[in-house]
Amino acid sequence: MTTKPAAAAARATVYGYPRQGHNRELKKAIEGYWKGRVDAGTLRETAAGLRRSNWQELAEAGIHEVPTGDFSYYDHVLDTSVMVGAVPERHRAAVRADALDGYFAMARGTQDVAPLEMTKWFDTNYHYLVPELGPDTVFTADSGKQVAELKEALALGHTARPVLVGPVTYLLLAKPAPGVAAGFNPLTLLDRLLPVYAEVLADLRAAGAAWVQLDEPALVQDRTPAELNTVARAYRDLGAAADRPKLLIASYFGRLGEALPVLAKSPVEGLAVDFTETGGANLDDLAAVGGLPGKRLVAGVVNGRNIWINDYEKSLATLGTLLGLADRVDVAASCSLLHVPLDATAEREIDQRVARWLAFARQKTREISVLARGLAEGTGAITAELAANRADLASRAGSALTRDPAVRARTAAVTDADGRRSQPYARRTAAQRAHLALPPLPTTTIGSFPQTAELRTARADLRARRIDAAGYEERIKDEIREVLSFQEKAGLDVLVHGEPERNDMVQYFAEQLTGYLATQHGWVQSYGTRYVRPPVLAGDISRPEPMTVRWTTYAQSLTERPVKGMLTGPVTMLAWSFVRDDQPLGDTARQVALALRDEVDDLESAGTSVIQVDEPALRETLPLRAADRPAYLDWATESFRLTTGGVRPDTQIHTHMCYAEFGDIVQAIDDLDADVISLEAARSHMQVAGELAAHGYPREAGPGVYDIHSPRVPSAEETAALLRTGLEAIPAERLWVNPDCGLKTRGWPETRASLENLVAAAREIRAELAAEGS
């Protein structure tokens, strides 16, 4: 294929870049600040150094226009709330006293003040802080961060484009503030918000911005005619604003659909569109509306969410088609590169036959640059790159590393009966209650306990061979004994072993399954200073040997109380990995489910009576368009049932979900056929309990009463109040008492105090129920 040069030289750009630094310098500096070991000046210097390094890397890779404003101490949506003055009343005094400390208080809370609610950013594993708005909200512009970072980049000689969350997406992501009627629609605040955005845009133009990007990913979701009218009005007004820079409206994560003609007609100068995740729909839709005459089109043709190399010829074909549909076409990733690790060349332990298939953020910027050069100068300018790319793609397509005939034969033999329990829930629950003999409102935790510095040191010592495997296992056993002893003394009813041997709830299993590859430096931000290393799912999946049985049975040998077996479910194993893109996700999920089914069966055979299969990503992976959801939920729920369907009726199956909007998937939660589900509910004030009740959910549930993403310790009284709210929706015989999520990121002092208060609250409510029944 030969591509002629574009009429106007194509530019290479990105929408955002990983924030953490090559050695997670930002995480270390922020956590040092929280602990008092790093002062504010040093933190700001570290952040400024990382921004300079990022821009320099991008420029050296051939990126012509670098983003600014995408860098954040915690979350870019929280930054937007600060930019528009939407600081909740309870945090205003802290923000006035110290802007940085007040910022972190909104994100993490304090002992006296609750943080903002946190939930997933569309269908990714990134979490954002939910804006709290109400009819009395007054917006005021504060462009200080955005202007300062733009000036930094310009002073270094870069062509820079500030990136902001767009006003419509910001309002659509918001929730009514506490105390505001549930029916309040934040979108009604648009007329108040737009002048603030116009003021920020004017400030950025005065600071030297030629273009500003406004991110509107909410427009790839189903939107009502009224919402689309709001979009049209928003960009009509901003487009008409005086003294503004050129506007680039960016969408990503899917098809714009009915929003595309609205944006195409709006008086803005450019659109940025995702051409990687839509099966060609955005390309077809763009042609159908007559293209973007007179506008700039930034074409997202390099996948910003996965780590597989780009197919240059395919991307160039798309770009060639787009040349006839816009005034100029530039090249970008499909979304911010925040969602991928920094540099694949740092992964020296990955099989080199696989490493050639991988592209992290640095490699993706090079891909974007190569494609922009090919588009601008013709394919003759990138002959060597095209040849190397063809060879890499052919290597992957023909590799025996990706296919295991035995796994494929087993998956093909799966029947509907394999995914069904032998008895219905009503009969199972009677058997489980007789077997487990738990009190009303049974207490438990979600799985992990604090990962202490001593545990991390033990893992590092093992890797460095300062201790042998036997010495490491003794340290793990010591930790399990401590965790079990605390839980018994605290009075918890169903115990966990604390997962001291696990580095991560997905990576731990991935390292023991064939078909997965683990990275050493592939860190990706999940929220705040929490970074994860998603494994790479490159081939067919199987389980060579038991993964958790020895530690669960060891913990059970230390107590008479039931100890939960703890597994990560098949959907989450996919969602929190970088998954192969050469076969349907449902096929890969069944392979993972069968491997986990073997583990479930072995746990049960070893005497484990309660087995938890976590699926926190079930809602996160839900397609953004309603029409695409039934097919996804069919294979997602089927894979969970395939994992758990072989156990006896008296074995109790738990699942867990957190930090998502559960109302959209209540039927799917029901379809999992788990005996007990625990869900995040503390920050959302037990919202999910009402959603389960409204659906008529018939099984047992534990809406969380302890927000583990905040360092504050909820009192027994506060916890009891949440339980009373839960009891308004879920009857006592079906209500469990537990935290929102695992305790890995918390310290022991707050964990002990919080769980002791949790048990005290459960006992208080049990006594109240007993008194009512007497």
Per-residue tokens: 206: 């005065």
533 conformational bin, left if phi > 0, alpha if psi -120 to 50, beta if neither: beta
**CA–CA separation, 31 and 47 (whole Å):** 13
Residue 102, phi then psi, degrees to nearest 5: -65, -35
Per-residue tokens: 60: 């050296």
Q: How many residues does the chain have?
A: 774
Exposure letters 200-236 (e unless 16+ CB within 10 A, then b): bbbbbbebebebbbbbbbbbbbebeeebbebbbebbe
How far, CA to CA in Å, does 115 sit from each of 78, 82, 95, 273, 485? 11, 14, 13, 34, 32
Catalytic residues: 709
Residues 6+ apart with CB under 8 A from 365: 12, 14, 57, 58, 61, 62, 63, 337
**CA–CA separation, 248 and 298 (whole Å):** 9
**CA–CA separation, 330 and 368 (whole Å):** 10
CA gyration radius, the chain: 26
Give residue for tokens 């002990």. 752
146 conformational bin, left if phi > 0, alpha if psi -120 to 50, beta if neither: alpha
**CA–CA separation, 519 and 401 (whole Å):** 17
How far, CA to CA in Å, does 133 sit from each of 3, 169, 197, 336, 567? 50, 14, 16, 26, 38
Residues 6+ apart with CB under 8 A from 556: 562, 563, 607, 608
> DSSP class of residue 495?
B
DSSP SS3 for 454 = helix
- Comparing CA positions, the residue from 265, 233, 269 lying closest to residue 249 is 269
DSSP SS3 for 232 = helix
